[in-house]
Structure 1
Amino acid sequence: MDKIKGKTWTFDKNIDTDVIIPGRYLRTFNPEDLAKHVLETERPDFTKNVQKGDIIVADENFGCGSSREQAPVAIKTAGVDAIVAKSFGRIFYRNAINIGLPVIISDIEAKDGDIISIDLSEGSLVNETTGESVTFEPFKDFMLDILNDGGVVNHYLKEKG
């Protein structure tokens, strides 16, 4: 999972966890049920059109708000392989890594449908549609291990043997 390439979905700033997965859907912990409603109030076309491997590119403060782990779970289950934003809500960032969803802090410009390539171990991000290239702090080996194992629980179980 060191390298990710996908089509972008763009979002503005301050997309909070209540927008990512509204509270009325939290009666279930089934990831597939949550994914059916992810970001539907912000982008009604998202759940119908998001595909495996897509990438979210957002402005600042993505995932602010409550600490609900269902927010990154719903995004990942919907098919998103990574989220790039200028900044993240601290707890959302941690929850995303914990479930194996890469989150990259960067200010790359993108429009819906652009193709983005990300190299987590090198710390490079390229918008292949526009040619813009930026760098970010590369992911440390232990974080790559967690992401490659599908999250911190899977990583722990793998390490425990």
Structure 2
Amino acid sequence: MSAIVRGKVHKYGDNINTDIISPPQYMELSIAEAAKYAMSAIDPDFAAKVQKGDILVAGANFGSGSSRETSPLTLKYLGVGAIVAKFFARIFYRNAINLGIPVIECSDADKIQNGDTIEIDLETGIIRNITRQETYQGTRIPAHILELINEGGLVPYLKKTI
């Protein structure tokens, strides 16, 4: 993965919890099957319209709820290239990183709109809104975490380094 992620935005609001991201009634399915229902509680068409590299943008408290990995796993399976939010629930934040999904906190996430194309420099945290010709400052990803993300997550990183 490059240090630059560019994609179309799928925008949601505050308090998107893990039950919304990956509805619990589909937990027993394979990740491939469960991914078809990702975000379906608030956007029934999400799984059908998200394309590899697209960027999910949300408000405050993204990923609150349970600690199960199915939520970030379904997003990864669908090809979400990064997630930007005002702030994340810590367990979701760590699970996403462990699975190789870049997560950026940005206090200006509300300025980004559904359908915008944005470009994120993961090393600096700078988010360029190509559609609106605006720039926002998000959190940067430290080099050692970026290396883990570039390897596809914690397990592939450990397999390579141990």
Residue 64 (str. 1) matches residue 64 (str. 2): yes
- Cα deviation, residue 33, structure 1: 1.3
Does structure 1 retain, via aligned residues, the 8 Å contact 2:148–2:154?
A: yes
Give the letter for the 2:149 counterpart: L
Give distance in 2, aligned partners of 1:132 and 1:13.
22
- Which of 149, 152, 158 is residue 156 of structure 1 equivalent to? 158
Name 1:21's counterpart in structure 2: 22
Cα distance per residue 1:38-66 (max 9 Å; x no partner): 00111011111111110011000000011
Cα distance per residue 1:137-157 (max 9 Å; x no partner): 321111011000000010000
Cα distance per residue 1:113-152 (max 9 Å; x no partner): 1000001012211111111101223211110110000000
Does structure 1 retain, via aligned residues, the 8 Å contact 2:9–2:117?
A: yes
Q: Which has the larger displacement, 128-137 or 79-88? A: 128-137
Give distance in 2, aligned partners of 1:75 and 1:39.
9
Return the TM-score normalized by structure 2. Answer: 0.95
Structure having the higher strand fraction is: 2
Give distance in 2, aligned partners of 1:69 and 1:137.
23
Give distance in 2, aligned partners of 1:97 and 1:3.
16
Q: Which runs of 5+ in 1 are unaligned?
A: none
Give the letter for the 1:88 counterpart: F
Return the TM-score normalized by structure 1. Answer: 0.95
Give distance in 2, aligned partners of 1:71 and 1:65.
10
Residue 113 (str. 1) matches residue 115 (str. 2): yes
Give the letter for the 1:76 counterpart: K
| Partner secondary structure for residue 83 of structure 2 | strand
Q: Which runs of 5+ in 2 are unaligned?
A: none
Q: How many residues align?
A: 159
Give distance in 2, aligned partners of 1:79 and 1:123.
21
| Partner secondary structure for residue 157 of structure 2 | helix
Task: Provide runs of 4+ in structure 1 moved above 6 Å.
Answer: none
- Cα deviation, residue 112, structure 1: 1.4
Name 1:77's counterpart in structure 2: 77
Give distance in 2, aligned partners of 1:136 and 1:24.
34
Give the letter for the 1:44 counterpart: P
| Partner secondary structure for residue 60 of structure 1 | strand
| Partner secondary structure for residue 59 of structure 1 | strand
Give distance in 2, aligned partners of 1:115 and 1:91.
28
> Percent identity at matched positions?
45
